[in-house]
A and B are shown apart, each in its own frame.
Chain A
Amino acid sequence: MTKSVSHIHRGKPAGGTIFSQWLLRAGKYPHWWLLLPALTLTLGFFLLPVLGLVNISFYESTPERVYLPNWTGDSYLRFLGDLWYLGLLWHTIQLALVVTVLSIIVGYPLSYWIWRSSGVRKALLMSAVLIPLFTNLIARLYGWQIILSKGGPLNFVLVGFGLLERPVLFNYNLGAVIVGLTHITLPYFVLILVSVLEGIDRSLVDVARNLGAGRLRSLSQVVLPLSAPGLATATAIAFAWSMGSYATPQILGSPKQWTMSVEAERQILSGFDWPFGAAISFILVAAMLVLIFLIFKVFGHRGRMQ
């Protein structure tokens, strides 16, 4: 098809009008036409607004209005010069790292098990992973809030078995935030990893085992390297989503556990300090992208997400 189009194009103008010539020329690039809506969405509603955000982060803060359009680096200096804000960034990164590592520790064996299962067991395991994924985030956090509260089931069981003398509040601390955040990232992590593992030939494991490799060895030398690109994608998404966490620290944590996202929202919606809120947002994104880049480096990324 492409051939005939270019032939017509090179010869006499086929339809005569400029419009039909243009149509024929456009027909040579069907892939760009198909990509156009997605690129418009990305450029118009993501890149452009984010550039606007960066622009505003360089504006001047003022108590009277959301910003004064004079260029200055004050917001960034204020952030970098304040140990509290630097501590907030470090806390956000640490939290995301812990949650990501936990997702790998729990998620990899679970994905491996799902991959090795078949039939009814596999369907059941998959639904168990899909149900939390398809349950509202706030509903799940709410569930954790009930579980960890003083009158909740955890205390009910622990006191009932005599392990605790009286109910303890497990809520509103770092541990609760980590438990809640991992609960959110884990299903995504497992689902991505399982679909990557599905692409690996299962008999390779059996071959390795027949050739005398132990379980650990076949896992570390066959399955792990083959699943590395998928593991990188799953890890990056778990990391990105936990680093941007907004609801979990507020529902399950005390203000000490609040993250960069919470602070950005507070500056913008309650403080009406758009430049500073924008600067916090941009620092969050920049730190996140750098760390995701490092994750891909660590896992020996093969050039594209699976």
Chain B
Amino acid sequence: MKTSRWFNFDGYHLALGVFCGVALLYLLLPILIVIITSFTSGNYISFPPKLPLTWKWYEAFFGSDRYFSAFLNSLLVGGLTMMLALVVGLMAALGYSHRRFRGRTFVYYLILTPFLMPGIILGISLLMSLGSLGAQGSYWVLVVAHCLWAAPLVFLIMVAVLEGVDPALKDTAMNLGAGPLRAFFEITLPLTKAGVISSALLAFVISFHEFVMALFLSAPSTKTLPVVIWTSLRFEVRPVIAAIDTIMVLTVVLTLLIVSKLIGIEKIRIG
């Protein structure tokens, strides 16, 4: 049996490789198609795209107030969600990992439950209870709603990451006179950098893409990009949507590249 570094050429590995290749094609194909069709010069989506290829739909995006302000809204809500979820989720993970206590398992599940909830449920229930408070139209409603998904995710990742940290290190630091804050910033945080960065990234991405809750909770002035795309997708299918999608894909790929430089891509994980 001949083996190479990349493939073992026996039936088992060939079958597994082909299967996984098809699976990856399945995962990436729609994204590639969107990118390709965004350069069409026709006014409607077609495949193959109408030649010559143009940038006109990108110009349309940056020239459109409606789309561009929604893009900025998305960045703002995503950034605030990332910060809030990181603080809340990280504190909870530290508290959970601190020691064993009564009700620990219950607390674990309680914090994770919102993550399993469909966006529609969270959106509807927040709309019904916050609607009467007149809180609609504020960015904070969206941020808090998105944190219901983002904070449990940060918690889930950081609990797993903190399990890998030797508690003796922190105790030593504290015995040597460091306060709990200093022990956290000088020992725990540097050791869990990869987990903190990847959970912050995921928190941002979750908010950046979320649209069902945003659909219920945003006012015209706080509409995020996915909400605007969703509403236009139902009425007009224009290539400008493909251009916007491409920009969003590129934003994320760029972020991924930076993160992989910082911590190594294989370290990004959930749970």
Contact = CB atoms under 8 A, between A and B. Distances in A.
Interface of A: 1, 30-39, 41-42, 45-46, 48-50, 52-53, 56, 106, 109-110, 112-113, 121-123, 125-147, 149, 151-153, 156, 183, 186-188, 191-192, 194-196, 198, 215, 230, 233, 236-237, 240-241, 243-247, 250-251, 261, 264-265, 268-269, 274, 277-278, 281, 284-285, 288, 292, 303-306
Max chain B Cβ within 10 angstroms of own Cβ: one of A112, A188, A194, A243: A194
Contacts, number: 279
Given A32-B95, A292-B116, A143 B265 contact: no
Nearest to B99: A31
A195 B271 CA distance: 7
Contacts of B226: 136-138
Nearest to B242: A142
Nearest to A111: B20
A139 B128 CA distance: 29
Interface in B197-220: 205, 208-209, 211-212, 216
B interface residue count range (under 10 / 10 to 19 / 20 to 34 / 35 or more) = 35 or more
9 contacts: A34-B91, A38-B155, A39-B111, A45-B144, A113-B17, A136-B248, A192-B271, A230-B271, A305-B112
Contact of A153 (B33, B120, B144, B233): B33
B129 interface: yes
Interface residues of A: mostly helix, strand, loop or mixed? helix
The list of the 4 closest CB pairs from A to B, nearest first, reads A244-B118, A143-B30, A34-B95, A139-B245
Contacts of A45: 126, 144-145, 147-148
A140 B237 CA distance: 14
Interface of B: 6, 12, 16-17, 19-20, 23-24, 26-34, 37, 45-48, 87-89, 91-92, 94-96, 98-99, 101, 105, 107-122, 124-130, 144-145, 147-148, 151, 155-156, 160, 174, 180, 205, 208-209, 211-212, 216, 226, 229-230, 233-234, 237, 241-242, 244-245, 248-249, 252-253, 255-256, 260, 265-266, 268-271
Given A128-B28, A129-B27, A306 B229 contact: no
Contacts of B19: 109-110
B120 A264 contact: yes
A64 B48 CA distance: 51
B256 A127 contact: yes
Interface residues of B: mostly helix, strand, loop or mixed? helix
Contacts of A131: 27-28, 31, 249, 252-253, 256
Nearest to B115: A237
A31 B95 contact: yes
B124 A42 contact: no
B91 A191 contact: no
A38 B88 contact: yes
Contacts of A215: 12
A151 B239 CA distance: 14
Given A53-B129, A281-B120, 14 more contacts: A35-B95, A35-B107, A39-B107, A42-B113, A49-B129, A53-B125, A109-B20, A132-B27, A134-B256, A135-B209, A187-B27, A188-B270, A241-B118, A274-B128
A177 B269 CA distance: 27
Nearest to B124: A281
A250 B236 CA distance: 15
A161 to B, nearest CB: 15
B271 A37 contact: no
A53 B124 CA distance: 8
Contacts of B160: 195, 306
B46 A151 contact: yes
